[in-house]
Copies of this chain bind each other. A is one copy, B any other.
Amino acid sequence: MAEGRRIQEDVPYLALDIGGSLIKLVYFSRSEQSPAEEDDANLIKALENTSHPVHGGWLHFVKFETREINQCLDFIKFKQLHCQVGTDPENKQTAAKVKVTGSGAHKFADLFMEKIGVTVEKEDEMDCLAVGANFLLKVFQNEAFTFIEGEKESVDIDENDLFPYLLVNIGSGVSIHKVTGDGTSEAVDGTRIGGIACWGLGRLLTKCKSFNEIVELSKYGSLKRIDLFVEDTFGDQKYVDKSNAPPDMNIGSFGKAISENRTLEDCKAEDISLSLLEMISQNIGQIASLNARIYGIQRIFFGGSFIKDNTCALETLSSSVHFQTNGEAKAMFLQHEGFVGAVGALMRYENKHGLLIKDESQNVDTTL
Contacts and interface: CB of A to CB of B under 8 A. Distances in A.
A7 interface: no
Nearest to A172: B252
Interface string A251-265: 111111111001110
Interface residues of A, number: 59
A205 interface: yes
B257 A203 contact: yes
A264 B264 CA distance: 11
A84 interface: no
A106 interface: yes
Nearest to A203: B257
Interface in A220-244: 228, 230, 233-236, 239-240, 242-243
B197 A263 contact: no
A91 B259 CA distance: 38
A204 interface: yes
Contacts of A291: 290
Contacts of A234: 103, 106-107
Contacts of A267: 204
Contacts of A255: 20, 172, 196-197, 200
Contacts of A283: 191, 193, 283
12 contacts: A20-B251, A20-B259, A106-B235, A108-B235, A109-B239, A172-B252, A173-B252, A192-B253, A193-B193, A194-B252, A204-B263, A294-B294
